[in-house]
Structure 1
Amino acid sequence: MTTALAADGTRLACQVRGSGRPLVLLAGQANNHTWWDPVREDFHGSHTTITFDYRGTGDSDKPEGGYSTAGFAGDVVAVLDHLGVAEADVYGTSMGGRVAQWLAACHPGRVRRLVLGCTSPGGAHGVERSNEVRRSLARRDARAREVLADLMYTPAWRATHPGPYTTLGDPDMPAHAVRGHLVASNGHDAWDALPRITAPTLVLHGDDDELAPVANADLLTSRIPDARSHIFPGARHAYFEECRPAASQIVRDFLNLPLSGRPVEPPAPSP
């Protein structure tokens, strides 16, 4: 682990593993880098994976303010600068996909290829989860994590994969940071910025996702130039884990395509 400094001085814990071209992996709301533990090694044959603990999570500082998806994108830039990485592939899921939208739109030179998973453009154009799901997520009783697990994974998959699951939130987050992440995700609206994304983009989604309805995949694909999509039938929010290894292979194949007008680049040394 190494520590980067955000523009406001917040310390950001970041983790670098593997070897090859840099790949930034961005986790979901109120989660730290362990979100990616079940599938991270799938990318180490071609990429150096870079994760970090969002402010408010893991080993990063937990300030009272500074929580927004655009602000998190600025934190990613601070991590890349700290590691000396000029350009990276970026794969963001859930709130991490919202962060990745801002990163690619506002810092196009830093993003070589973009993958957006189980996410939404937000705002008035985004398709929101139902009130029933919102009420389920607001629960604070003993069954809260069970309810969230059902939204992440299908019952059939959970029957053969009893956990523990790394996608159900960072249990050590202070209450103010949990609220900050919720406000950040709910306040996301990148609709007007999406056409500015220049990186070739792949949109992935499960068609039984109630946390981020699958209709958002079509919205993103139609709004982002040069975007394509792949839908996983029957999958819920954590398609990247439940549909492994197919999902990881689709991402690898996309990331390793040559860019139009550019030669295929050899893997870069680990930062």
Structure 2
Amino acid sequence: MPRAMREGVSIYYERDGNDDGDPVVFLQDVGAGRWTWRWQREAVADEYEAVAPDSRGTGRSDADLPPLVSRLPGPLRTPLVLKAAGYSVEELAADLEAVLEDASVSGAHLVGAGLGGAVAQQYAVDYSRAATLTLCGTTHGGGDAVPIPDEARDHLVASAGTDRKRIRKRMRPVFTERFTNRNPHLLDRIVEWRREQDASDPAREAQATALLEFDAGDRLDEIRVPTLVVHGTDDRVIPVENGRLLAETLTDSRLELVDGGSHFTFVENATRVNEVLLSFLEERG
């Protein structure tokens, strides 16, 4: 099991697929495990190697949170984490650099959703290994961005533990009701994947802090690599206007809007997103 170490924190990652050329690196959203990218990892496997790190605090990676924070009950812990004990996108990007260094990767196609998309942007600004970016349902943050709705913010930090009903309830904003109603068996599987792979409640809150405080608006001109922006038009977590803002501001970008797509449009509309991603990698990779 490969692991990268950074300042005493162990970051787990997986590698699979074809190891020719630059790998595709998948970066998760707040609290979400590697399961979120299973459809895309399968899609790229014939042509590319896939690298899938567990974000700090997720899955098999260390959380590196103060022990007291993790022991506090949710009502006391959440405001403390959000104000003083959360992660930053800068340190998550530094974790990614440690993974790519450990894996001897000199160039990588970064694919990130939500928080993972913020990490990809920050990485492209701070480090030199990004060959392309694919930004799914994400934002550049700051005052110019359209804010995350209050209801979605509440769901980002809602405690669920391993309780199946609470996990299912917390997932509501990331999928459309149509998808949820038509795919009950898949939703059952996703709940089990989340119980196994997702971040603990304290780590989810720390990751949410990183996304909520992220602001790369005045540094987007430093991102010079080709960028694909994918956004569902019915994203209830990060409004679609943020995808349009990214595409308008980035120097070399392509915008793909998924009509009726949710925040997790890469799950709901995996076939469409896979086609767009593979086309982009072939053309710009």
Tell me the TM-score range normalised by the shorter chain: 0.7 to 0.9
- Give yes or no for the alignment of 1:111 onto 2:122: no
Deviations 1:2-23 (A, max 9, x none): 11112x1211101001013301
- Does 2:206 align with 1:180? yes
Letter in 1 for 2:99: V
1:263 is aligned to none
Among 212, 223, 228, which residue is 1:197 paired with?
A: 223
Aligned to 2:88: 68
Partner of 1:39: 40
- 2-side partners of 1:14 and 1:155: how far apart? 32
Letter in 1 for 2:10: R
Q: Which runs of 5+ in 2 are unaligned?
A: 66-84
Identity within the alignment, %: 29
- Measure the CA separation in 1 of the matches of 2:100 and 2:220: 22
Partner Cα separation in structure 2 for residue 233 and residue 205 of structure 1: 9
Deviation per CA, 1:57-99: give whole Å up to 9, x if none. Answer: 1111120267211111111111010011101111111110000
Q: Distance in 2 between matches of 1:190 and 1:168?
A: 29
Q: In the superposition, relative to structure 1, how do residues 154 and 56 fare at CA in structure 2: closer, same or farther (>3 Å)?
A: same
**1:146 partner SS:** helix
Write the deviation string for residues 188-228 of structure 1: whole angstroms up to 9, x where unpaired.
11111211001011100000001000000111111110111
User: 1:123 aligns to what SS in structure 2?
Assistant: coil
Deviates more, 1:127-136 or 1:38-47: 127-136
Residue of structure 1 equivalent to 2:250: 224
Residue 93 of structure 2 corresponds to residue 92 of structure 1 = no
Counterpart of 1:11 in structure 2 is 10
Correspondence 1:160 to 2:185: no
Over 3 Å counting, the alpha-carbon distance change for 1:170 and 1:68 in structure 2 is farther
Q: Distance in 1 between matches of 2:235 and 2:130?
A: 27
Structure 2 CA distance, aligned partners of 1:139 and 1:83?
Answer: 34
The 8 Å contact of residues 31 and 169 in structure 1, kept in 2 or not, is answered as no
Q: Does 1:131 align with 2:150?
A: yes
Answer whether contact 2:137 2:238 (CA < 8 A) is retained: yes
**Would the alpha carbon gap of residues 100 and 139 (structure 1) be closer, same or farther in structure 2, given more than 3 Å must change?**
closer
* SS across alignment from 1:189: coil
Match of 1:266 in 2: none
CA 1:95–1:168: 2 relative to 1, 3 Å: farther
Change (3 A) 1:9 1:192: same
| Secondary structure of residue in 2 paired with 1:5 | strand
1:137 Cα shift?
Answer: 4.8
**Aligned equivalent of 2:121:** 101
Q: Distance in 1 between matches of 2:190 and 2:276?
A: 23
Which has more helix, going by share of residues?
2
Residue aligning to 1:2: 2
d(CA) in 2 for partners of 1:12 and 1:59? 7
| Partner residue, 2:269 | 243
Give the TM-score normalised by the residue count of structure 2: 0.83
Aligned mates of 2:279, 2:198 — CA distance in 1:
36
Checking the alignment, whether the CA contact within 8 Å between 1:30 and 1:169 is kept in structure 2 is no
Amino acid at match of 2:237: L
Asked whether the 8 Å contact 1:111–1:199 carries over to 2, the reply is yes
Is this contact kept in 1: 2:26–2:50, CA < 8 A? yes
